[in-house]
Amino acid sequence: MHTSTAPATGLPASFADPSWWRQAAVYQIYPRSFYDANADGLGDIKGITGKVAYLRQLGLDAVWLSPFYPSELADGGYDVADYRNVDPRLGTLADFDEMAAALHAAGMKLVVDIVPNHSSNKHPWFQEALAAGRGSAARDRYIFRDGRGTGGELAPSDWVSVFGGPAWTRVPDGQWYLHLFAAEQPDFNWDNREVRDDFLATLKFWSDRGVDGFRIDVAHALVKDLGEPLPSQADIDALEKLHDGSHPFWDRDEVHEIYAEWRALFNQYDPPRTAVAEAWVDQTRRARYASTGGLGQAFNFDLLQADFDAGQFAAIVAKNLTEAEASGASSTWVLSNHDVVRHATRYGLPRPPHPDAAGPDAAGPDAAGPDAAGPDGKAWLLAGGPESGLDRGRGLRRARAATLFMLALPGSVYLYQGEELGLHEVAAIPDSERQDPTFFRNAGVEIGRDGCRVPLPWTATGQSFGFGGAPAHLPQPEWFAGVAASVQDSDPESTLNLYREALRLRRRLQSAEQLFWVGQANPDVLAFRRPNGWTVVTNFGPRPGSPRATVARVGCDLEDCSGLAGLGGGASAPEETPDDLFLFSIQELTKGGHQVVDGGLEEPFRGFGLWMSIPLLSRRR
Provide the minimum distance between the beta carbon of 228 and ligand GLC in the complex, in angstroms, as a whole number.
26
Pairing of strands 2-3, 62-65: unpaired
Site track for ligand GLC across 210-249, x = CB under 6 A: -------xx-------------------------------
Provide the minimum distance between the beta carbon of 435 and ligand GLC in the complex, in angstroms, as a whole number.
11
3-state SS, residue 504 = helix
Residue among 467, 472, 583, 573 nearest 525 (CA): 583
54 vs 280, which CB is nearer to ligand GLC? 280
Q: Which residue is nearest to ligand GLC (CB)?
A: 78
Is there a contact between 188 and 142 (Cβ–Cβ < 8 Å)?
Answer: yes
Provide the minimum distance between the beta carbon of 278 and ligand GLC in the complex, in angstroms, as a whole number.
6
Provide the minimum distance between the beta carbon of 338 and ligand GLC in the complex, in angstroms, as a whole number.
6
If binding is defined by CB under 6 A, does position 78 make contact with ligand GLC? yes
Site track for ligand GLC across 92-121, x = CB under 6 A: -----------------------x------
Residue 588 φ then ψ, to 5°? -115, 145
Answer for which of 61, 75, 391, 420 binds ligand GLC (CB under 6 A) is 75
183 vs 509, which CB is nearer to ligand GLC? 183
Answer for which of 339, 366, 493, 598 binds ligand GLC (CB under 6 A) is 339
Distant-in-sequence, close-in-space partners of 606: CB < 8 Å, separation ≥ 6: 532, 533, 590, 592
445: exposed, middle or buried (C-beta count within 10 Å: 0-12, 13-18, 19+)? Answer: exposed
Residue 447 φ then ψ, to 5°? -90, -25
Pairing of strands 269-270, 2-3: parallel
If binding is defined by CB under 6 A, does position 560 make contact with ligand GLC? no
497/99 Cα distance (integer angstroms): 25
251 vs 278, which CB is nearer to ligand GLC? 278
Residues 251-310 that bind ligand GLC (CB under 6 A): 278
Is there a contact between 534 and 408 (Cβ–Cβ < 8 Å)?
Answer: yes
Q: What is the helix (H) or strand (E) element at residue 610, kind and residue range?
A: strand 608-611
Residues 173-212 that bind ligand GLC (CB under 6 A): 181
163 vs 480, which CB is nearer to ligand GLC? 163
Provide the minimum distance between the beta carbon of 115 and ligand GLC in the complex, in angstroms, as a whole number.
6
351 vs 378, which CB is nearer to ligand GLC? 378
184/29 Cα distance (integer angstroms): 23
363 vs 445, which CB is nearer to ligand GLC? 445
Provide the minimum distance between the beta carbon of 199 and ligand GLC in the complex, in angstroms, as a whole number.
15
Number of H helices, E strands in the chain: 19, 18
Please tell me the total number of residues recorded for the chain in this structure.
621
If binding is defined by CB under 6 A, does position 64 make contact with ligand GLC? no
112/599 Cα distance (integer angstroms): 43
23 vs 66, which CB is nearer to ligand GLC? 66
Binding site for ligand GLC (CB under 6 A): 75, 78, 115, 181, 217-218, 278, 338-339
